């Protein structure tokens, strides 16, 4: 039997206290207004590289009855404009996405970003563009992108302005982190730039780039950004693993909405639970292992239909450990599941797992990322933090998509 989930498996939740299990009262929370888009309840799926492709968005949407807002994984503006096949595939939408098409755009040069925004709006029918200023991984920040950009406010302003102009009436939003590290916090500057340059909402992942996904998210920073922002909504991101967390974040910080990231990995039904509590109802029961196996099989088939069986099963491998986390006996199957190539193999590997097992409560807040530690330092271009008030040009990457 596998060992149960322990405190050592959690994301550094020192001093974590469970949120009160109190559903929303009538009228307690307003729908989120992002330009012409109304999001009710005020909940957004975080764009995650290699995760929030069209099949995963469709699966999450099915549990919420089509409510909330579901953002694509990030696509690179230059590769999109130049028509690279992989990027165009990742940017595409599923058959159920006939409205409220939402995509996250990444880049460092205003020319490619502005042109990508125009194409997305005019040719692809996109109705919401999010901009990535929060990615902390080395290959992104070392090129001066992602969470590095807010450290250069004039660069950030120039590229936000380009996308807002390119998008026209379609709302543009921005997502960013607290800063590079605890000695260089940039979130208030980033919020100011976004508000001044025409962004329709701000989303703060309340960790620094150096933290990656370690430790606790600093919800006080979300409250501080909300207090500093006068004209557009502020959304909070970080440590939403249960529906009660979403309510507690809004109650504690006064933010206008929440962004759900790692908490839904292997748990797409979380969006249904969140919808329930915002509607004033107790959340639906947690699924049994048999119900999770059925969801995994549905997810795998959707990925295969979208990418082909070969590439769809390669995508599915990363999800298997998240879906089965904490279930006794599941670890014995994970090695083979992480190498699975066909749907037939996949079904055969799931079959021996007992359907009746209840959901392991201890795994809800268990780690769902490659590493629960901070990085030693954030990789940046040489001299990037010198003369931060001056403008700077950064070469636009060709491809940063996927993950």
Half-sphere exposure of 342 (CA within 13 A, CB side): 3
In 3D space, the residue among 83, 87, 82, 86 whose CA is nearest the CA of residue 103 turns out to be 87
Q: Which residue has the tokens 């700077």?
A: 392
Q: How confident is the model at residue 88, as a pLDDT? A: 96
Q: How confident is the model at residue 7, as a pLDDT? A: 35
Q: Which residue has the tokens 């501080």?
A: 224
Q: What is the mean pLDDT of residues 224-233?
A: 98
Torsional sign, CA 84, 86, 90, 95: positive
Q: What is the mean pLDDT of residues 334-343?
A: 96
Q: How confident is the model at residue 397, as a pLDDT? A: 64
User: Strand, helix or coil at 272?
Assistant: helix
Q: How confident is the model at residue 387, as a pLDDT? A: 83
Percent of the chain, pLDDT > 90? 84
Q: What is the mean pLDDT of residues 328-338?
A: 92
Q: How confident is the model at residue 124, as a pLDDT? A: 97
The answer to whether 163 and 117 are in contact (CB under 8 A) is: yes
Half-sphere exposure of 206 (CA within 13 A, CB side): 25
The answer to whether 269 and 287 are in contact (CB under 8 A) is: yes
The reported pTM is 0.93
pLDDT band (50, 70, 90) for residue 1: very low
Q: Is the pLDDT of residue 12 over 50?
A: no
Q: What is the C-alpha separation between 134 and 145, in angstroms, rounded?
A: 9
For the chain, which domains are there? 28-278 (3.20.20.70), 289-358 (1.10.1200.80)
Q: What is the C-alpha separation between 250 and 139, in angstroms, rounded?
A: 33
Q: Are strands 234-237 and 37-39 parallel, antiparallel or unpaired?
A: unpaired
Q: What is the C-alpha separation between 218 and 172, in angstroms, rounded?
A: 25
The answer to whether 48 and 239 are in contact (CB under 8 A) is: no
Q: Which residues contact 348 (CB under 8 A, 6 or more apart)?
A: none
Q: Which residue has the higher pLDDT, 255 or 95?
A: 255
Q: Is the pLDDT of residue 282 over 50?
A: yes
Q: What is the C-alpha separation between 359 and 45, in angstroms, rounded?
A: 23
Q: Is 135 a catalytic residue?
A: yes
From the list 135, 255, 264, 304, the catalytic residue is: 135
Main-chain phi, psi angles of 294, to 5 degrees: -65, -40
User: Strand, helix or coil at 133?
Assistant: strand
Q: What is the mean pLDDT of residues 109-132?
A: 97
Q: How confident is the model at residue 393, as a pLDDT? A: 79
Q: How confident is the model at residue 395, as a pLDDT? A: 73
Percent of the chain, pLDDT > 70? 93
Q: How confident is the model at residue 401, as a pLDDT? A: 53
Q: What is the C-alpha separation between 251 and 333, in angstroms, rounded?
A: 41
Q: What is the mean pLDDT of residues 59-69?
A: 97
To the nearest whole number, what is the mean pLDDT of the chain? 92
Q: What is the C-alpha separation between 163 and 174, in angstroms, rounded?
A: 11
Q: What is the mean pLDDT of residues 214-235?
A: 97
pLDDT in tens, 178-215: 999 999 999 999 999 999 999 999 999 999 999 999 99
Q: How many helices (H) and strands (E) does the chain have?
A: 14, 13
In 3D space, the residue among 373, 383, 380 whose CA is nearest the CA of residue 207 turns out to be 373
pLDDT in tens, 241-262: 999 999 999 999 999 999 999 9
pLDDT band (50, 70, 90) for residue 8: very low
In 3D space, the residue among 362, 133, 365 whose CA is nearest the CA of residue 240 turns out to be 365
List the beta strands (DSSP E) in 77-127.
102-106
Q: Is the pLDDT of residue 398 over 90?
A: no
Main-chain phi, psi angles of 378, to 5 degrees: -90, 120
């Amino acid at each position: 039997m596998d060992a149960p989930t322990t405190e050592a498996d959690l994301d550094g939740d020192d001093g974590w206290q469970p949120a009160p299990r109190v559903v929303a009262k009538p009228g307690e929370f307003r729908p989120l207004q992002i330009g012409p888009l109304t999001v009710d309840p005020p909940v957004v799926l975080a764009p995650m590289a290699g995760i929030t492709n069209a099949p995963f968005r469709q699966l999450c949407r099915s549990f919420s009855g089509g409510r909330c807002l579901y953002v694509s994984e990030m696509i690179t503006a230059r590769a999109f404009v130049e028509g690279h096949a992989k990027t165009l595939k990742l940017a595409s939408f599923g058959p159920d996405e006939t409205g409220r098409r939402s995509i996250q755009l990444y880049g460092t040069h205003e020319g490619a970003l502005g042109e990508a925004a125009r194409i997305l709006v005019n040719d692809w029918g996109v109705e919401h563009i999010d901009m990535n200023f929060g990615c902390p991984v080395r290959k992104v920040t070392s090129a001066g992108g992602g969470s590095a950009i807010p450290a250069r406010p004039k660069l950030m302003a120039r590229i936000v302005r380009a996308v807002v102009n390119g998008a026209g009436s379609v709302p543009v939003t921005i997502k960013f982190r607290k800063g590079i590290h605890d000695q260089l916090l940039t979130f208030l500057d980033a919020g100011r730039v976004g508000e001044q340059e025409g962004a329709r909402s701000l989303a703060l992942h309340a960790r620094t780039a150096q933290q990656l996904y370690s430790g606790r998210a600093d919800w006080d920073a979300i409250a501080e950004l909300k207090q500093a922002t006068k004209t557009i909504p502020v959304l909070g991101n970080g440590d939403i693993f249960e529906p009660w967390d979403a309510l507690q974040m809004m109650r504690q910080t006064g933010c206008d909405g929440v962004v759900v990231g790692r908490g839904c990995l292997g748990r797409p039904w979380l969006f249904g639970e969140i919808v329930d509590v915002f509607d004033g109802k107790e959340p639906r029961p947690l699924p049994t292992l048999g119900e999770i196996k059925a969801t995994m099989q549905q997810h795998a088939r959707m990925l295969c239909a979208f990418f082909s069986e070969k590439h769809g099963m390669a995508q599915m491998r990363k999800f298997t450990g998240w879906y089965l986390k904490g279930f006794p006996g599941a670890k014995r199957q994970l090695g083979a599941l992480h190498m699975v190539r066909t749907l037939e193999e996949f079904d055969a590997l799931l079959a021996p797992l007992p359907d009746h097992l209840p959901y392991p409560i201890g795994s809800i807040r268990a780690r769902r990322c490659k590493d629960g530690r901070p990085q030693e330092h954030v990789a940046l271009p040489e001299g990037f933090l010198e003369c931060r008030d001056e403008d700077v040009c950064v070469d636009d990457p060709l491809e940063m998509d996927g993950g």
